[in-house]
Amino acid sequence: MGSEKRTASEKADFKRELTEVVPHLRAFARGLCGRADMADDLVQETLLKAWAAQERFQPGTSMRAWTFVILRNAYLTDMRRNRFRGEYDETVAERVLTAPAGQEEPIHLSDMHRALLTLPPERREALLLVGAGGFSYEEAANICGCAVGTIKSRVGRARATLNSMLADGSIPKRSIDDDTAHRAILEELDEVAAGQGLASRN
Amino acid sequence: MTSPAPSEGKLPKGTDRMSKKKSESQPEWANGLRQLYDSVVDEPLPDTFKDLLSKLDSKD
């Protein structure tokens, strides 16, 4: 919005909020691109962009939502340049989720992560935002620049896919390495990118 | 159908988390999805980020 310079205290507030949101950016990025090192590169890129664009941030609104839009757009751009291939991060593989009470079989974080990475990107991000990040459908729709109904249906499909994958343990090894799958994903990415986060252009 | 109990205590550090709603039946892995996310949120921040953040001010 306004092009007037921010005061020193507004800048300090911005910086504090930006700092607080870094762990969330890392978590979102890790879910999107699957590899810790690449995810962190993406977060660094996001922080620099957010800092440079700070005058467009409206104080009082959600810093997490605002920075997620920036991260998402950076990710989509990088994806189209073929930097990320949704590679699976081996370090997560060793971690096992402790089964909550009443649940017989522990789900491995690694299975979970791998299953997540096999989803088409727009469903993956929708599920990450709503199911992991705790955003409402409305907030997620705003971040992705699409209709609320679209987000709902993406989340629904993502859940259905994960349900069946995790239920019968048929998680594809690495669908991303498969050329056909990869091409399909890139095509879908173009659609996703066409929605370019509404919240980012203000 | 046992509906899964709400995840224990583990609320994220962020302040704007909207975590009410959704008592619709969740698959058992739903909790895992959140744990996957939270496990990263809870990681100590690598120094590279601290360095980057501290440099932000000085460059304008």
pLDDT grade for A63, boundaries at 50, 70 and 90: very high
Res. B44: pLDDT tops 50: yes
pLDDT grade for A128, boundaries at 50, 70 and 90: very high
CATH fold, domain A8-80, is Rna Polymerase Sigma Factor; Chain: A (1.10.1740)
Q: Which of residues 43-62 of A touch B (CB under 8 A)?
A: 43-44, 47-48, 51, 62
CATH fold, domain A96-200, is Arc Repressor Mutant, subunit A (1.10.10)
Interface contact A136-B18, CB threshold 8 A: yes
d(CA B38, CA B59): 32
Average pLDDT over every residue of B22-46: 79
d(CA A185, CA A86): 10
**pLDDT tens-digit series, residues A132-172:** 999 999 999 999 999 999 999 999 999 998 888 877 766 66
Interface contact B27-A163, CB threshold 8 A: yes
The Cα-based distances of A170 to A120, A131, A161, A185 in angstroms read 17, 21, 11, 20
User: How much of chain A exceeds pLDDT 90, in percent?
Assistant: 47
Interface contact B37-A51, CB threshold 8 A: no
- Ordered by start, the domain boundaries in chain A are 8-80, 96-200
Average pLDDT over every residue of A75-93: 62
Residue B16: exposure state from Cβ atoms within 10 A (0-12, 13-18, ≥19): middle
pTM: 0.72
ipTM over 0.95: no
Res. A74: pLDDT tops 50: yes
| Least reliable range by pLDDT among A10-14, A195-199, B7-11, B28-32 | B7-11
Q: For residue A74, which of A37, A40, A49, A56 has the smallest C-alpha distance?
A: A49
